[in-house]
Amino acid sequence: MKTSAARAITVIAALAMAFLGCQDLKPIKGKGRRGQARSSAGASSSSGYSGPKAKLEFYVMSKCPFGTQVEKGIKPVIDEIGDYIDFHLEFIANEAGGKFTALHGEPEVKGNILQLCVIKNYPNPKEYLKFVECQNKNYRQIPNNWEPCARQNSMDVAKIKSCYEGEEGKDLLRTSIKKAKARNARGSPTMYLNGQPYRGGRSKNAFMRAICTALPKDGKPSACASIPEPVQVNATVLTDKRCKRCNVAGLQANLKGRFFPKLTVKVVDYSTDEGKALYKEVGEKLLPVWLFDDSVKKAEKYTMLKRWLLPAANGKYLRLRVPARFDPTAEICDNKKDDTGNGKVDCDDPTCKATLICREEIKKKVDLFIMSQCPFGVKAVDAMKEVLGNFKGQINFDVHYIATKTAKGFNALHGQSEVDENIRQLCAKKYYKKNNKYLDYMWCRNKNYRSSDWKPCAKDGIDAAKIEKCFSGGEGAKLLEEDIKIAQALNVSGSPTWLANNKFKFSGIAANAIKTNICQRNPKLPNCDKKLSSSKIKGNVGCGK
């Protein structure tokens, strides 16, 4: 199956990632504390300036692209006004039984230790950030690129190596982890300015502006007087007060904090004459619709959002691509009103039949919605091997996929490779549904789900030629087009999402959690009292949530 669809990612996902960054998989207890004690690993620069400083704390993962982004943004600020900043760089990881783990694997553990060793030996941020900047130019090569970066910055390679390979480096990471946990820092980056969470922009000007504001009036460097003022950006949001999921305030706060400090938003409701006229003018069927005038093109961060700003039908605005699911002209399925005037209320209206609230309960039915290359979805599929064995064939299990259909093909969060694998898995399901045989293919693929080499997993009775014919001949595309309608009708966007008994959503990626949720709706199933495998990963985690 060949399509020209580019890698899909909605702006709302981009904004979420921009704020949340790389998320640690292990929950951290405790809340942030103001004025917490520091060690030499986070020492600030030494200079002749002895006045008040703005305390800035970064908690990052060395191989997280969002962590490297803020390090890039702060470095020129440190270079210019670092004497006025009490800067601290710490790392997010975990330790259990004397073994360190990190979200991006063992290389990140080593990268964290390396950078802490550099900080210990070169505590001036103006010095150690040069090393960090060097590594970040190719952060995927961390830790293997450390020696050239150390030599490039005239650092003592032997001293750093001794720290990195010995107990000193482990102790530094252990201490840094404790500080991150004390701040409840799970996402990279987590930032604090003068003890308060920092959620503002990540460019040099944004950091400069925030730091200069945090400094006392009589203690600001001269550079604070020359920071360019942010551009006034104007937006109009067409929404509907009946829409429970049209969260204007949340996205507005993210846009203002992250991209447009001087953002003014006018909210127009569909129920008004102005709203109906605007709805007709812009030609968008689903709400909410975010519209920007030309002022956005002058904003400092315009280029970061440019690819998600499309011309509206009327040519007067740029439309921000955000998830829009509410049709103001359609029946609302749970308000006990005839919204369309066709004499049918709520679930009696044909347009409501596929929605969650109107679905019929079917006992022992379990559906899983995934993205085939989402690591959390992969874990959920793998857990079903144990769950299915536990219930001894007494549940009806099915897998569905999360993607979107466009005029050019399909879009998926993890790109074209995920679209292709979604299709292959649906082809396997069509031809090997009996006794869940298709799951053998999926479980095999999950061992190396990013690999394009899928044919070795078509084995033991699964015909690779049959899957290839389905995939490349158009049949698979039709299967995906029909399948993704199920998730769309249910407003399912996160991988994994579960549906028990055709009606009740739940979350989980470990066998015991999945079993427990199924048994809550089907208490008479066999082995509901049996303890299955659990996971350290807690909460509603997933891709696209």
Query: Would you state the pLDDT for residue 402?
Result: 96
Measured CA to CA, the distance from residue 489 to residue 86 in angstroms comes to 51
Residue range 301-314: mean pLDDT, rounded? 88
> Are the CB atoms for 160 and 143 separated by under 8 Å?
no
- Please give the structure tokens belonging to residue 34: 């103001």
Classify residue 2 as exposed, middle or buried by CB count within 10 Å of its CB (0-12, 13-18, 19+).
exposed
Query: Would you state the pLDDT for residue 40?
Result: 39
Q: What is the pLDDT of residues 388-435, one digit of tens each?
A: 999 999 999 999 999 999 888 999 999 999 999 999 999 999 999 999
- Please give the structure tokens belonging to residue 373: 């290359």
Percent of the chain with pLDDT over 90: 75
Query: Would you state the pLDDT for residue 525?
Result: 96
Percent of the chain with pLDDT over 70: 91
Q: What is the pLDDT of residues 199-228, one digit of tens each?
A: 888 889 999 999 999 999 998 999 999 998
Per-residue pLDDT at 36 exceeds 60: no
Measured CA to CA, the distance from residue 458 to residue 203 in angstroms comes to 48
> Are the CB atoms for 62 and 108 separated by under 8 Å?
yes
Measured CA to CA, the distance from residue 318 to residue 356 in angstroms comes to 33
Q: What is the pLDDT of residues 336-366, one digit of tens each?
A: 999 889 999 999 998 888 888 899 999 999 9
Measured CA to CA, the distance from residue 60 to residue 92 in angstroms comes to 6
Per-residue pLDDT at 19 exceeds 60: no
Q: What is the pLDDT of residues 95-104, one digit of tens each?
A: 998 899 998 9
What's the CATH architecture for 232-320? 3-Layer(aba) Sandwich (3.40)
Query: Would you state the pLDDT for residue 407?
Result: 81
Measured CA to CA, the distance from residue 78 to residue 72 in angstroms comes to 10
Query: Would you state the pLDDT for residue 47?
Result: 53
How sure is the predictor about 24, in pLDDT bands with cuts at 50, 70 and 90? low
Query: Would you state the pLDDT for residue 44?
Result: 46
Query: Would you state the pLDDT for residue 530?
Result: 96
Query: Would you state the pLDDT for residue 23?
Result: 73
What's the CATH architecture for 31-225? 3-Layer(aba) Sandwich (3.40)
What's the CATH architecture for 360-521? 3-Layer(aba) Sandwich (3.40)
Per-residue pLDDT at 441 exceeds 70: yes
Query: Would you state the pLDDT for residue 2?
Result: 35
Query: Would you state the pLDDT for residue 227?
Result: 92
> For residues 208, 210, 215 and 217, what is the CA-based torsion angle, rounded to 10 degrees?
90
How sure is the predictor about 113, in pLDDT bands with cuts at 50, 70 and 90? very high
Residue range 133-143: mean pLDDT, rounded? 96
Q: What is the pLDDT of residues 492-535, one digit of tens each?
A: 989 999 999 999 999 999 999 999 999 999 999 999 999 999 98
CA 170 to chain centre: 29
Per-residue pLDDT at 260 exceeds 90: yes
Q: Can 31-225 and 232-320 be said to share one CATH topology?
A: yes
- In which region does residue 487 sit, left (phi positive, over 0), alpha (psi from -120 to 50) or beta (all else)? alpha
Whole-model pTM above 0.95? no
Contacting residues for 59 by C-beta, under 8 A, at least 6 apart? 90, 91, 92, 179, 180, 183, 185, 188, 189, 190, 191
Residue range 447-459: mean pLDDT, rounded? 95
**Which residue in 341, 256, 249, 260 sits closest to 297, CA to CA?**
260
Domain boundaries, the chain: 31-225, 232-320, 360-521
Q: What is the pLDDT of residues 309-332, one digit of tens each?
A: 999 988 899 999 888 888 999 888
Query: Would you state the pLDDT for residue 4?
Result: 30
Contacting residues for 120 by C-beta, under 8 A, at least 6 apart? 40, 41, 163, 168, 172
